[in-house]
Structure formats: C-alpha cells, structure tokens
Amino acid sequence: MTLRVLLADDQALLRATFRTLIDSCDDMEVVAEATDGEEVHGLTRTHRPDLALMDIRMSGTDGLAATTRICTDPDLTATRVLILTTGETDEHVARALHAGASGFLGKDVGVDELLGAIRTVVAGDSLLSPPATRALITRFLATPGPDGHLAPPESLAALTAREREVMALVAEGKANDEIADALLTSPAAVRTHVQCAMTKLDARDRAQLVVIAYQSGLVRPTPPLC
C-alpha cells in the first residue's frame, strides 16, 4: 500500500525538499501541494490523501484553520493531519489537537524521524511524546479551546471499565507496550481496547482520545509546580 501525502507549505524550497524525501520512499508519494491554507481543503477533497503535512504558519488561512476544515469535513475522515512548525510551544500543540491534528513535528527533524512520523500518523497513532503530552494537558487540554467545547462526562458511558482504564493511560502518553505491562495484558488487547474506545467516542485517533479523556474528566490534570 502506498501512503498518499499532501504538502501544505508556503515555502517552495521546503515543499520541494519534502517531496524529494517522500517520493524517494517505496511506500509513499506526494499527490498534491498547497501554498496556503485556503487551497488545502479543496485539494484534500480532490485527492483524498492519507495525510496532509501541514505548516502551521502560512499566509492567508493558516494551518490550524485548514486543519479544522479537514477534520470537521465528514467526507475526509480518512485523512490525517501532521502539523509542522519552526517553533514548538505547548499552546501550538494544544491548538493543533483541538483543531483535530494527529501529530505535531518541528521542521528541524531528521529525515528518518519525518518519514517515521508520517507512517505513525497514517497508522492511526498520535505523535506526541509523554512529556509533551503531560505539559500541554496541564496548561491547555483540560479547558476548551477558542472554538472547542468540553466533552461531557456522559460521553464515556458507552465505554467498558477496561476501555476507560486503557484510555486514561493513553491520556498519560503511555505507549501500548507500557499500557499492556501496567494492566498485565497483551499489546494486541490494548490496541483492541483503544480502537473500540475511538469507535464509540467517534475519535479520529489517539490524539483525540487524549483530548476527550481530559475534557470529560476521566483524567485530571496535575497542577503545575510553583
């Protein structure tokens, strides 16, 4: 299976670099390029890529607004968004997650990390390290974003006790192997519970499970140290 990628960046040199790197891989290809956020939605609807590699800062409509349009379009549920930026801050990460992004990456990453990130996000996993997850949750995810809303506690009613347990550990930024060790089960069983929770809560991926877990009150953020 070839992973189809859309590039969204207003810098031609960066787009050309990313295209060369991605097209050099046997398992992925660039299917379209957008120069600003306004173009992204239309090109995504036309080409239906598996992933949009999105610059957070673009002239005109920015990457966050474009991400929101993609992630709220019912015809584009199969397209993941991986946000790229030159300055990683907790606020940017939180806003990207509120918008529906599945991952967040700095433009200074190495080639292997970039390509690995694309594969990770298309596979349905989120791209956030545990330290980054904990930091941004404490400051941002427990409250709604400018255009977001709190997930009500009753939204968790459809989950089994084990699914809630697994979801809470996902919200702490733990990987499947770590969750399996903590719950004395197998990584395959954890993947099944995660997928069931995503399906029941209509979450696109693990990143949205993190948002729902904190906004619904399943997990409480730890107050920052003074």
Does some domain include residue 225? no
Same domain, 121 and 22: yes
Residue 139 pLDDT: 58
What pTM does this model have? 0.69
Residue 137 pLDDT: 57
User: What domain range includes position 164?
Assistant: 152-215
Q: What percent of the chain has pLDDT over 70?
A: 82
For residues 134 and 114, which has the higher predicted lDDT (pLDDT)? Answer: 114
Does some domain include residue 193? yes
Same domain, 8 and 118: yes
The mean pLDDT of the chain is 83
pLDDT per residue as tens digits for the range 103-119: 877 777 788 888 988 99
Q: What is the CATH number of the domain that holds 195?
A: 1.10.10.10
Task: Give the separation between CA 147 and CA 149, rounded to whole angstroms.
Answer: 7
Of the candidates 113, 203, 219, 112, the residue with the CA atom closest to the CA atom of residue 169: 219
H/E segment holding residue 38: helix 37-47
Does some domain include residue 123? yes
Same domain, 159 and 56: no
For residues 97 and 49, which has the higher predicted lDDT (pLDDT)? Answer: 49
Total domains present in the chain = 2
Q: What is the CATH number of the domain that holds 73?
A: 3.40.50.2300
